[in-house]
Structure 1
Amino acid sequence: MARRAGLRGPLARLPESRPVPAGAACASGARRDPGRGDEVEIGGLNVTPAERRNPRAERTRAALIAAGRRLFCERPVDAVTVDDIVQAAEVGKGSFYNHFTDREGLVRAISAEIRGRIERAVDRANAEVEDPARRVARAVCTYLRFALDEPERAGVLVRVHSGHTSMSAPLNRGLVDDVSAGLAAGRFVVPTLEAAVLYVLGVTQLALVRVVQEPTSSLAVSLSQQMLSLLLRGLGLAGGEADQIAAQASEEIVRQGAYAAAFQDPSGAAH
């Protein structure tokens, strides 16, 4: 029976208000601007009913997102200007502000799209998995497989990933739930919940950075297996079981890409 998605949080979301050097994507809800009639803002995007039905506006928005994604993959957000974005997208500067309130709005829209792809895959990978240790391992492997299949998007995560570390943050709920379940079941033996959550986040982020640097299957498989084995040992599992879980998750998810199809946009939107 499916339950929480497991590892999400900072590895998949950005902060609401601004990008930071190492961050996470935060889903941004829609809000209505009382001064703009039927217009609403979704993820930093000003959207009117007409725009939602306008193919030209949709193409412009897609071009801006694709350009921003390429640029944010290559260099820090603070080093990318709106002028850089519109030049790469080959649209007028006014078109940018027809769609986004500012650069941070574009970052939120891009990161929300990336987060959605990863969360779908984590949900699928852990749909029938109850054991907290296996859930954590499979979620970590999903991130590393994502770096192989979607190097540009993974590069964005590395560039704009945030250090949201609060245990009460909605961004961290899936991981906190899995680690809490592991502690309650005696699967994990660690000093505190917070220490365990930070430990998992740190290991996963560094592994993601390494695979983005060298996106080869051989590296990703060996690295995921080795780091997961160490991670699970650190959470309190015996060495033999940690090795077994790490090897199974790495083989199925990283090498075979069992859930990689979930990275694709179900709407059929262009890459």
Structure 2
Amino acid sequence: MPNPPRRTKTPHAAVEAIEPTAPIREPRGARRKRETRMRLMEAALKLMADKGMEGVAINEITEAADVGFGSFYNHFESKEAIHLALLDWVFEEFADTLDRITAELTDPAEVISVSIRHALMRARREPVWGHFLIREGLSARGLSRGLGPRLLRDIQKGIGAGRFAADDPLMSVVTIGGAVLTSIAVELRDGASSTPLTDMLKAFGYAEDQFAERAAAAMLRTLGLSRAEAVEIANRLLPVDERAIESE
């Protein structure tokens, strides 16, 4: 009589692969705390972008966030603490985004160009973010965190590779950083339709759909690139931020 077929044991790992585990649900209390903190951050960002940290009171933040005044201290020790959290959120998050989307680029000039164009395009899409960047971009923390050190790093790479003719990395950072903030201010001019600024911009051929590319080309020229090469690099196809697409 033939032996019965042997039964094989299914490895534990295989069972786990076959039977998907239910996603771990965030506890309701933790979710509410996270959402409340985010509402406070978003309200503070809008207020401080408009009036600066000194011009904003804690009760204004809690009212704008629709959060009880006492709840503020469950998340932040002071107004200064939420301001520091905003600086890290705005500068570090954007700097990390730039690092991610330029990771495959090998030309320091293109890295600088892409970073400038993304900064101007984001400011156009998110005016509150842009106004906060203008207000805080030249602060000590703004220069020492996130964007400042990365701009210095990228300029030093270009100088080291012989790509840039600039011989003073620090002053190049000051020049490029100041030009980016000024360009954002031009993009975000509010209620300026009848001001001398708008008339001047029209006289110089300002066009919103090409402004970011013109700005990037001009800044590349300050680093020593020829006009033709700077314009060509500034008009290359922008790399896509895959993570941003996935989150939509």
TM-score exceeds 0.5: yes
RMSD over equivalenced CA pairs, Å = 2.9
Contact 2:36 2:67 in 1 (8 A): yes
Cα shift at 1:111 = 3.0
Q: State the partner residue of 1:195.
A: 171
Q: State the partner residue of 2:100.
A: 124
For residues 219 and 72 of structure 1, what CA distance do their matches in structure 2 show?
Answer: 29
Superposed CA offset, 1:56-106 (max 9, x none): 322322221121122123222211111211121222221111110111211
Q: 1:138 to 1:90 in 2, by over 3 A?
A: same
Cα shift at 1:182 = 1.3
Which letter maps to 1:259? V
Contact 2:123 2:184 in 1 (8 A): yes
Contact 1:211 1:219 in 2 (8 A): no
For residues 239 and 177 of structure 1, what CA distance do their matches in structure 2 show?
Answer: 24
4+ residue runs over 6 A deviation? none
Q: State the partner residue of 1:136.
A: 112
Cα shift at 1:262 = 4.5
SS at match of 1:78: coil
Q: State the partner residue of 1:233.
A: 221
For residues 60 and 184 of structure 1, what CA distance do their matches in structure 2 show?
Answer: 46
Which letter maps to 2:187? V
Which letter maps to 1:136? I
For residues 158 and 137 of structure 2, what CA distance do their matches in structure 1 show?
Answer: 26
For residues 244 and 182 of structure 2, what CA distance do their matches in structure 1 show?
Answer: 21
Cα shift at 1:170 = 5.6
Moved more, 117-126 or 229-238: 117-126
SS at match of 1:145: helix
Q: State the partner residue of 1:108.
A: 84
Which letter maps to 2:105? V
SS at match of 2:166: coil
Are 1:259 and 2:240 counterparts? yes
Contact 1:176 1:197 in 2 (8 A): yes
Point out the structure with max Rg over C-alpha: 2
Are 1:58 and 2:34 counterparts? yes
Q: Normalised by the size of structure 1, how large is the TM-score?
A: 0.66
Q: Normalised by the size of structure 2, how large is the TM-score?
A: 0.72
Q: Which has the higher contact order (CA 8 A, sep 6+)?
A: 1
Which letter maps to 2:97? A
For residues 56 and 166 of structure 1, what CA distance do their matches in structure 2 show?
Answer: 30
For residues 245 and 93 of structure 2, what CA distance do their matches in structure 1 show?
Answer: 6
For residues 233 and 159 of structure 2, what CA distance do their matches in structure 1 show?
Answer: 18
SS at match of 1:79: coil
Contact 1:158 1:209 in 2 (8 A): yes
For residues 40 and 246 of structure 2, what CA distance do their matches in structure 1 show?
Answer: 17
Contact 2:95 2:150 in 1 (8 A): no
Give matches, 1:1-271, under 5 Å: 54-164=30-140, 169=144, 171=146, 172-213=148-189, 219-248=207-236, 252-253=237-238, 259=240, 262=243
For residues 163 and 73 of structure 1, what CA distance do their matches in structure 2 show?
Answer: 13
Q: State the partner residue of 2:5.
A: none
For residues 185 and 173 of structure 1, what CA distance do their matches in structure 2 show?
Answer: 18
Contact 2:45 2:128 in 1 (8 A): yes
SS at match of 2:138: coil
Contact 2:166 2:223 in 1 (8 A): yes
Which letter maps to 1:125? I
SS at match of 1:113: helix
Cα shift at 1:149 = 2.6
